Amino acid sequence: MGYKADTSLPVNDAIYDIAIIGGGPTGLFASFYAGMRNMKTLLIEAMPELGGQLTFLYPDKFIYDVPGHPKVLAKHLVENLVAQGLQFRPTVILGERVSNVVKLGEKLFMIETDKGRYYSKTIVICAGIGAISPRRLGIPEVERFEGKGLYYVVTNKWEFKDRRVMIVGGGDTAVDWALNLQNIAKKVTLIHRRGQFRAHEASVIELFHSNVEVMVPYVVKSAQGDSALRKVTVMNLDTNEEEIKEVDALIPCLGFIVDNTVLKKWGLEMEGQSLLVNGRMETNVAGIYGAGDIAHESGSVKLNLICVGFAQAAIAVNVAKNYIDPSSSYFPGHSSERRF
C-alpha cells in the first residue's frame, strides 16, 4: 500500500500505538479514548487549529443535536472536546497534512506529512470531508509574505495589537475579524470585491457604524515589503484605479477548500469520497481504521453527524487496542469508574 516513501523528510523515531489523522470532533474524541486505554497517541491535523469543520466552517453557529447539550456553540463544543481529548497528553502535530501512509511490516506504519515522518502500530483516519485549507489569494508576490505579514488563519488576535491590518472578504469571518480587531489594531481596513456582504445583517450594520475603513468594490493586486509586508496595492473594480495602502498585516478571509484525494493513493478501499469500513471500523488494511464523516460503514446508513463520529471513534480505538494487544478486552470499562 502507499506509494514510494519520500526519503528527504525529517524522521521522528518514536513508535506510537495509535496515530489519529484529523483533529475534528471525531479525532479529538478518538484521542480521549486512546488516552483512556493507555495508548501512546499521536494526533495530526492539517490546519493550525483543532476542531475541524466546527472551527473553520461554523464556529459561531449553535448545534442542537449533541447529546447532553441542548444547545451549544460550535466553538464552545470544540473547547470542551480539546480539553477532554488532550487530557492524557497525546503528541499533537498541527499544520501538517498527511500525504502518505506506508505499511512497513506487521503492526508498523510510516506516516508522511508535508513536514515529517512518524511511526505507529495503528492508524485511525478521522479526516472528515478532507484536509481543510484556506482559499488563497493566488498572487505569488503576495503569497511570499505568508508568516511575514500575510495570515490566512488568526490564532491570536493580540498579535495584531497596534498594527495596521487589512482584511479581505465579505463573509462572516471577514466582518467578525474586522469588528474584533478594531479596538486592538492601530487601524483596520476591510476590502471586498462587491458592495453586498454575505455576513449576518446585524454584523454588517455594526461594521458600517464602526471605526473600520470599508473599501468596496476593491481587490488586492500586489504587495510590497522587505523581510515583512509593508504595503498592499488594491484596485477599485469600477474604475480600475489602484491605490497603495500602508499595511503591516493582510488577512484574507476567503473561505476554505477541502481535499481528500490523497486517501485514494494509500491503497485503501473507497466508495466515492468515503473510506469503506466494516462494523468494527476496520478498513481493508489491517491496523487502519476509519471514523466520522470520512467513513462509510458498509450496509449502514451514512449520517454525517458529530454524534455518529463519536461512537465510531470509540469503536475504532477499542478495536485498535485489541489489535495491538489481543489479550486486552474491547470494552474499555466505564469512565465513571476511573479516576483521571
Ligand X SMILES: Cc1cc2nc3c(=O)[nH]c(=O)nc-3n(C[C@H](O)[C@H](O)[C@H](O)COP(=O)(O)OP(=O)(O)OC[C@H]3O[C@@H](n4cnc5c(N)ncnc54)[C@H](O)[C@@H]3O)c2cc1C
CA angle 236-239-245, nearest 5°? 30
d(CA 80, CA 87): 11
Name residue, grid cell 504587495: 223
Q: Which of 45/297 has CB closer to ligand X?
A: 45
CB of 328 to ligand X, least distance (A): 25
Sign of the torsion formed by the C-alpha atoms of 141, 143, 144 and 148:
positive
CB of 56 to ligand X, least distance (A): 7
What angle in degrees, to the nearest 10, is found between the helix axes of 25-36 and 306-324? 40
Binding range to ligand X, per CB under 6 A, among 5-13, 78-86, 172-180, 299-307: 299-307
Does 128 help bind ligand X (rule: CB under 6 A)? yes
Q: Which of residues 179-238 bind ligand X (CB under 6 A)?
A: none
Work out the number of other CB atoms within 10 angstroms of the CB of residue 51. Answer: 24
247 binds ligand X (CB under 6 A): no
Residue 178 exposure: Cα atoms within 13 Å on the Cβ side: 31
Piece in contact with ligand X (CB under 6 A), picked from 81-89, 127-135, 150-158, 315-323:
127-135
Cα 139 from Cα 252, distance rounded (Å): 12
User: Shortest approach of ligand X to residue 248 CB, angstroms?
Assistant: 28
* Of 99 and 182, CB closest to ligand X: 99
Residue from 180, 210, 224, 304 in contact with ligand X (CB under 6 A): 304
Indicate whether 254 belongs to the interface with ligand X (CB under 6 A): no
C-alpha cell at 79: 473547547
- Contact between residue 27 and residue 131 where contact means Cβ atoms under 8 Å apart: no
Helix 172-181 × helix 201-208 angle, to 10°: 40
CB 327, CB 43: distance < 8 Å: no
Q: Is 54 in the site for ligand X (CB under 6 A)?
A: yes
The answer to whether residue 90 forms part of the interface with ligand X (CB under 6 A) is no
Q: Is 47 in the site for ligand X (CB under 6 A)?
A: yes
Is residue 19 close enough to count as binding ligand X by CB under 6 A? no
| Position 277 contacts ligand X (CB under 6 A) | no
For position 34 contacting ligand X by CB under 6 A, the verdict is no
| Least separation in angstroms between CB 26 and ligand X | 3
What is the C-alpha separation between 238 and 253, in angstroms, rounded? 22
Which residues bind to ligand X, rule: CB under 6 A? 21-27, 44-47, 52-54, 57-58, 63, 65, 97-98, 126-132, 262, 292-293, 304-307, 309
